[in-house]
């Protein structure tokens, strides 16, 4: 038996590390946390200095039992969990659950899984850092107190199964407030003016130059007046300004910048990015992926220098060190980088390969020379108008880091002119006006949050830490406070007025799609109701500065500057008093009266019902009469729906006609729009709208569903039709009455006999009974 037992969190990590250590070391996995807070009484003895009460979950008891056996046989236990607070807490839980003495354990940390890093860690063990453990416990206890005390209030006052959280509720508030800004925004029209000019260069070649008026024009009258003056104006180049400037590369990735850039460049969700990064780390490809540091080690800087000089030449290298902007940056010692910078790509899954290459490019680019760019600005003066047109262009003199990488941005609302290579011109050159076009443009509302921009905002406000962004964003979507969707947008007209070179004015009306959004975070109606309720009764919890201050106090606990109990007591006592005070608070009234149905005289309103937002019609003369209900569409909101839109909802269900002698009906139910025919309910795909779908389209849906259902059936047994072999998501399976039984992979499902099916069902029943008995 090995004298040394190394315990890590994941089997993948264990396998990688075991390759680097000799026969005297055995590497085992704890499979993450082995203890958690009990559910009873919040899992915290509040009166006993906020002592957490832990237990080993059922699914971890065998893991702990096996680790205990291994620990008893080993001379030294090396706790090699991650180097952040969560990893430190796991090491402490292992010490407590396995009943390990201090003289038997050694704590080691490393920010990359390489042979050099592992052996270096073995040479430099330390004890468990209880300040980090206390900081992790303080966060866990604080979040448990907030969640367990606020959530029941929401169940009682709004709806069951709702949840609240110290960080999640603030994140939802950001999204709700942004949506309200979008709803309140009133677009203003203005005209962007672009001129097309021509001239002959010194070689006698015809050239064209496009330039933009330095201001917007407010309305059609101002445009026409301006263009008429332009028809008789002379245009001359007043100035040609060339300015060299340098563009510097971005710092290597932190957790948050990796999440943002992977979302922009690879279209990965935050949780997907972290899952892939975890695999890359455990396989030894990258350094630890939860960090807010932008530093690179001397080893990495030297390796980057060698790689850049070898691949691109000496002039492309520029050694750089970066400073972390956040004063509270902590936990890992390095930015996220490849463990072997000379390795440009890896052999792995498509997703892992793409993320690795993104990390490699960012790390390499951070150590490359500035890009040298010449920016040219040409100013064209319209004589007699006192107005100026401007043309801008850029020429890359030396590409530098741009040879490898350019950072993306989230900016959506900039109205930049066209920038490119400009023709050679000189000051004083006279230009011929070919055309001047004024195009109506509309101001845009603030952009809705994407996962990437939400992470950026949370980081700017100091809310959460690298390890919390992904679970927070996942949680608010799972709780149905927020959803990602594609919004189609609406058609809008805009005007184009053009002055031709012959002085003729032409007018056109064109159309464009406005309001289309893809991959954005939209709040649900319940999110708005919960946010308003918490803002009203728990303003401290929802306050951005308060939430950021809590993070700072957790950092202070990690540094040993603040006591665990003092921090929790200062927060909990006033918070708990407010919780008790909400017993007398009335339920929020979500009903919004829109007006009266002109055809019936019934009052039309919208409100939040048990299964979501609904429109309802009530009889003011007979309050006891049952209201008529209609669910709101996905793109409609309680706060913005109009009376006309609500009345349209009552047009469902729609009878479309008959098919095969049976009525065809379009409607919306709890699970979305559907077609009803012959007693069957068929979900409508996205391309159809229940309000506009035709009978022919509905018949196509019905027939397609029949074909789809028929393709599921592989075999039906005549001896007993309740026994069927079907194609499922995970392969062929036997449907025996209400039970589904997976079939062996090595058999053709068509060859099974009815007797074999009976035997398979009997074996499955016996297996189920024995499992229940053993439990």
Residues annotated as part of the active site: 288
Q: How far apart are CA 603 and CA 621, in angstroms?
A: 10
Q: How far apart are CA 356 and CA 277, in angstroms?
A: 8
Residues near 600 by Cβ (< 8 Å), separated by ≥ 6? 617
Q: Among residues 557, 444, 507, which one has the least CA distance to residue 227?
A: 507
The residue whose two tokens read 């680097």 is 20
Q: How far apart are CA 372 and CA 362, in angstroms?
A: 19
How far is CA 281 from its chain centroid?
Answer: 21
Residue 178: C-alpha distances to residues 142, 189, 488, 538, 632 (Å): 27, 22, 19, 20, 21
Residue 361: C-alpha distances to residues 135, 251, 317, 735 (Å): 34, 11, 14, 51
- Phi/psi at 176 (5° precision): -65, -45
Structure tokens at 767: 């297996």
Q: How far apart are CA 194 and CA 236, in angstroms?
A: 16
**From start to end of 313-420, where are the E strands?**
371-382, 387-398, 419-420
Structure tokens at 704: 């397609």
Q: How far apart are CA 51 and CA 138, in angstroms?
A: 10
User: Which residues lie across from 19 on neighbouring strands?
Assistant: none
Structure tokens at 92: 């402490």
Q: Is the peptide bond before 653 cis (omega within 30 degrees of 0)?
A: yes
User: Which residues lie across from 758 on neighbouring strands?
Assistant: none
50, HSE (Cβ side, Cα atoms, 13 Å): 21
Q: How far apart are CA 94 and CA 64, in angstroms?
A: 8
Give one DSSP letter per residue of 129-152, joined into a string: -HHHHHHHHHHHHHHHHHHHHHHH
**Integer Rg of the chain from CA:** 33
Q: How far apart are CA 67 and CA 26, in angstroms?
A: 11
Asked if residue 443 lies in contact with residue 187, where contact means CB atoms within 8 angstroms, the answer is yes
Asked if residue 348 lies in contact with residue 283, where contact means CB atoms within 8 angstroms, the answer is yes
Q: What H or E segment, with its residue span, contains residue 428?
A: none
The residue whose two tokens read 């339920």 is 587
**Count of H helices and E strands in the chain?**
20, 31
Structure tokens at 358: 């993104």
Angle at 494 between CA 488 and CA 500, to 5 degrees: 140
Collapse the DSSP code of 681 into the 3-class scheme (helix H, G, I; strand E, B; otherwise coil) and give the result.
strand
Residue 750: C-alpha distances to residues 22, 730, 755, 759 (Å): 52, 17, 14, 16
Q: How far apart are CA 725 and CA 599, in angstroms?
A: 54
Q: Is 375 exposed, middle or buried (0-12, 13-18, 19+ CB in 10 A)?
A: middle
Q: Torsion-angle region of residue 462: left (phi > 0), alpha (psi -120 to 50) or beta?
A: left
Structure tokens at 398: 């030396």
What angle in degrees, to the nearest 10, is found between the helix axes of 451-461 and 270-282? 80
Asked if residue 141 lies in contact with residue 113, where contact means CB atoms within 8 angstroms, the answer is no
Asked if residue 333 lies in contact with residue 290, where contact means CB atoms within 8 angstroms, the answer is no
Give one DSSP letter per residue of 56-90, joined into a string: --GGGHHHHHHHHHHHHH-SEEEE---SSHHHHHH
User: Which residues lie across from 604 on neighbouring strands?
Assistant: 595, 617
């Amino acid at each position: 038996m090995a004298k040394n037992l190394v315990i890590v969190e994941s089997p993948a990590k264990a396998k990688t590390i075991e390759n680097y250590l000799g026969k005297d070391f055995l590497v085992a996995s704890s499979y993450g946390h082995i203890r958690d807070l009990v559910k009873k009484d919040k899992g915290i003895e509040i009166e006993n200095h906020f002592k957490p009460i832990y237990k080993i979950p059922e699914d971890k008891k065998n893991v702990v039992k096996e680790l205990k056996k291994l620990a008893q046989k080993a001379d030294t236990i090396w706790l090699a969990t991650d180097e952040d607070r969560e990893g430190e807490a796991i090491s402490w839980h292992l010490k407590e659950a396995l009943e390990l003495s201090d003289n038997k354990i050694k704590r080691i940390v490393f920010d990359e899984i390489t042979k050099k890093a592992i052996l270096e860690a073995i040479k430099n063990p330390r004890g468990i850092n209880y300040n980090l453990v206390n900081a992790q416990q303080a966060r866990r206890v604080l979040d448990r107190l907030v969640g367990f005390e606020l959530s029941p209030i929401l169940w009682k006052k709004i709806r069951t199964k709702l949840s609240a959280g110290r960080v999640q509720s603030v994140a939802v508030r950001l999204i709700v407030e942004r949506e309200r800004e979008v709803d309140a925004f009133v677009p203003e029209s203005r005209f962007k003016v672009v001129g097309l000019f021509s001239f002959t260069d010194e070689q006698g070649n015809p050239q064209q130059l496009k330039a933009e008026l330095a201001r917007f024009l407010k309305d059609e009258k101002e445009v026409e007046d301006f263009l008429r003056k332009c028809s008789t104006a002379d245009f001359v180049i007043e100035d040609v300004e060339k300015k060299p400037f340098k563009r510097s590369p971005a710092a290597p990735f932190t957790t948050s910048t990796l999440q943002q850039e992977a979302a922009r460049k690879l279209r990965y969700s935050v949780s997907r990015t972290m899952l892939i990064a975890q695999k890359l780390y455990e396989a030894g490809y990258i350094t630890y992926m939860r960090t807010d540091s932008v530093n690179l080690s001397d080893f990495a800087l030297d390796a980057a220098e060698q790689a850049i000089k070898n691949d691109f030449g000496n002039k492309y290298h520029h050694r750089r060190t970066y400073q972390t902007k956040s004063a509270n940056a902590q936990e890992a010692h390095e930015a996220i980088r490849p463990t072997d910078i000379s390795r440009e790509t890896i052999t792995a899954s498509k997703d892992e390969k793409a993320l690795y290459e993104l990390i490699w490019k960012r790390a390499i680019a951070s150590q490359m020379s500035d890009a040298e760019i010449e920016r040219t600005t040409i100013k064209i003066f319209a004589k007699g108008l006192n107005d100026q047109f401007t043309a801008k262009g850029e020429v890359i003199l030396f590409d530098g880091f741009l040879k490898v990488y350019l950072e993306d941005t989230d900016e959506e609302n900039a109205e930049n002119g066209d920038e490119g290579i400009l023709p050679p011109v000189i000051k004083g050159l006279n230009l011929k006006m070919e055309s001047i076009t004024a195009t109506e443009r509309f101001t845009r509302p603030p952009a809705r949050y994407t996962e990437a921009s939400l992470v950026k905002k949370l980081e700017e406000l100091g809310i959460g830490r690298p390890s919390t962004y992904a679970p927070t964003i996942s949680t608010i979507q799972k709780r149905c406070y927020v959803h990602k969707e594609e919004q189609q947008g609406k058609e809008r007209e805009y005007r184009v007025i053009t002055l031709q070179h012959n002085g003729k004015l032409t007018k056109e009306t064109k159309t464009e799609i406005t309001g289309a959004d893809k991959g954005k975070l939209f709040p649900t109606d319940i999110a708005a109701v919960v946010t308003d309720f918490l803002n009203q009764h728990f303003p401290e919890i929802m306050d951005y500065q308060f939430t950021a201050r809590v993070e700072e106090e957790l950092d202070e606990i990690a540094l040993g500057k603040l006591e665990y109990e003092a921090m929790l007591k200062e927060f909990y006592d006033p918070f708990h008093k407010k919780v008790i005070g909400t017993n007398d608070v009335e339920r929020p009234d979500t009903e919004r009266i829109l007006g009266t149905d002109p055809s019936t005289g019934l009052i039309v309103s919208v409100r939040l019902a048990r299964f979501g937002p609904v429109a309802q019609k009530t009889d003011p003369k007979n309050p006891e009469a049952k209201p008529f209900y209609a669910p709101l569409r996905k793109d409609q909101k309680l706060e913005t729906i109009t009376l006309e839109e609500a009345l349209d909802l009552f047009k469902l269900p729609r009878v479309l006609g008959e098919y095969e002698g049976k009525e065809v009906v379009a409607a919306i139910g709890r699970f979305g729009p559907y077609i009803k025919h012959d007693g069957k309910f068929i979900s409508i795909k996205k391309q159809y709208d229940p309000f506009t779908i035709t009978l022919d389209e509905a018949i196509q849906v019905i027939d397609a569903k029949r074909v789809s259902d028929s393709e599921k059936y592989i075999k039906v047994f005549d001896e007993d039709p309740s026994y069927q072999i079907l194609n499922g998501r995970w392969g062929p399976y036997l449907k025996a009455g209400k039970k589904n039984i997976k079939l062996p992979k090595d058999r053709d499902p068509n060859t099974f006999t009815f007797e074999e099916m009976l035997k398979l069902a009997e074996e499955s029943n016996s297996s189920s009974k024995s499992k229940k008995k053993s439990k």
